[in-house]
Amino acid sequence: MKKSILFASALFSTLSFAQTQDTVKVQNIETVTVDGKKKIIERKVDRLVYNVQNSMVSEGSSGTEVLANTPLLKVDEEQGLLAIAGKSGVSVMVNDRMLNLSGAELMNYLKNLRSENISKIEVITTPPAKYEAQGNSGIINIILKKNQNLGWSGYTNTYYQQSTYGGFGGALGLNYQNEKLKSSVKFRGYDSEKRSVENYKIIGESSSISRDDRRDMNDGLGMNVSLDYSLSEKANVGLIYDLAKGHSNMDINSVSRYFTNDVNTLNTDTNSKHRSTSTSQMLNLYYDQKLGEHKLSFGANYYGNLPETNVNFVTTDLSDQSDQIVRNLSSVDYKIYSGQGDLTLNFKNIQLETGLKYSQFSNNSDIGYFNFTNNNYVIDPKRSNLFNYDEKNYAAYISASKDFGEKWSAKFGLRYEYAETKGFSPTTQSSSENNYGKLFPTAYISYKANDNNQFSINYSRRINRPYFRALDPFRWYSNPNSYYAGNPSLQPSFNHNFEFNYIFKSKFNASLYYERSLANFDQITFIDGVSIVSTFHNYYNQDTYGLNLNYTDTFFKIWETNLSTSLSYSDTQITKYDAIARNGQSFYYSANNTFQLNKAKTFFFFANYWQSLPSKGGNNSTKNRYSVNAGIKMSLMEKALQMNLSVNDIFKTSGYRGSVYFKDNMQSFDNYWDARRLTFSVTYNFGNQKVKANNRNVNFEEKNRAQ
Which of 162-176, 600-614, 683-697 comes out lowest in average pLDDT? Answer: 683-697
Burial of 609 (0-12, 13-18, 19+ CB in 10 A): middle
Distance CA 631, CA 646 (A): 4
The mean pLDDT value for 172-177 works out to: 91
CB 680 within 8 A of CB 688: no
Going from the C-alpha of 580 to that of each of 103, 432, 573, 617, 663, the distances in angstroms are 31, 30, 9, 11, 6
pLDDT the model gives residue 135? 73
H or E element at residue 416:
strand 408-425
Peptide bond into 22 cis (omega under 30): yes
Neighbouring C-beta atoms of residue 621, cutoff 10 Å: 19
Distance CA 293, CA 296 (A): 10
Q: Which residues pair with 565 in a beta bridge?
A: 549, 589
Distance CA 510, CA 41 (A): 12
The mean pLDDT value for 228-242 works out to: 94
pLDDT grade, residue 5 (50/70/90)? very low
CB 412 within 8 A of CB 442: yes
pLDDT tens for 642-686 read 999 999 999 999 888 999 999 989 999 999 988 899 999 999 988
Which of 287-296, 409-418, 625-634, 696-705 comes out lowest in average pLDDT? Answer: 696-705
Distance CA 590, CA 42 (A): 20
pLDDT the model gives residue 365? 86
Strands 137-144 and 89-94, how do they pair? parallel
pLDDT the model gives residue 101? 63
Query: At residue 35, does pLDDT exceed 50?
Result: no
pLDDT grade, residue 32 (50/70/90)? very low
Query: What SS3 string covers 8-29?
Result: HHHHHHHCCECCCCCCCCCCCC
CB 363 within 8 A of CB 334: yes
**452-474 in b/e burial notation, b at 16+ Cβ within 10 A?**
eebebebebbbbbbbbbbbbbbb
pLDDT grade, residue 91 (50/70/90)? confident
pLDDT the model gives residue 27? 39
Distance CA 311, CA 325 (A): 11
pLDDT tens for 308-335 read 999 999 999 999 999 999 999 988 888 9
pLDDT the model gives residue 484? 86
> Rounded to 5 degrees, what angle do the CA atoms 532, 537, 541 make?
130
Going from the C-alpha of 552 to that of each of 328, 507, 600, 631, 676, the distances in angstroms are 51, 5, 23, 20, 27
Torsional class of 529: left (φ above 0), alpha (ψ -120 to 50), beta (otherwise): left
Give the list of residues 6+ apart from residue 650 with CB closer than 8 angstroms, or none.
Answer: 627, 628, 629, 630, 676
Give the list of residues 6+ apart from residue 4 with CB closer than 8 angstroms, or none.
Answer: 79, 196, 198, 671, 673
Backbone angles phi, psi at 174, to 5 degrees: -130, 135
Burial of 390 (0-12, 13-18, 19+ CB in 10 A): middle
Going from the C-alpha of 263 to that of each of 210, 373, 434, 662, 664, the distances in angstroms are 16, 31, 45, 21, 17
Q: With DSSP H G I counted as helix, E B as strand and the rest as coil, what are the percentages for the chain, rounded to 5?
A: 5, 65, 25
pLDDT tens for 491-515 read 999 999 999 999 999 899 999 999 9
Query: At residue 105, does pLDDT exceed 80?
Result: no
Mean residue pLDDT across the chain: 86
Which of 13-27, 331-345, 427-441, 648-662 comes out lowest in average pLDDT? Answer: 13-27
Query: Which residue in 174, 18, 159, 30 sits closest to 92, CA to CA?
Result: 18
Most confident of 150-154, 415-419, 652-656: 415-419
Going from the C-alpha of 112 to that of each of 170, 221, 355, 399, the distances in angstroms are 7, 13, 34, 36
pLDDT the model gives residue 25? 36
> Rounded to 5 degrees, what angle do the CA atoms 493, 495, 500 make?
160
Residue 427 DSSP label: T
Query: At residue 701, does pLDDT exceed 70?
Result: no
Query: At residue 29, does pLDDT exceed 70?
Result: no
Going from the C-alpha of 671 to that of each of 3, 5, 199, 218, the distances in angstroms are 9, 12, 6, 20
Q: What's the half-sphere exposure (Cβ side, CA atoms, 13 Å) at 309?
A: 21
Residue 106 DSSP label: H
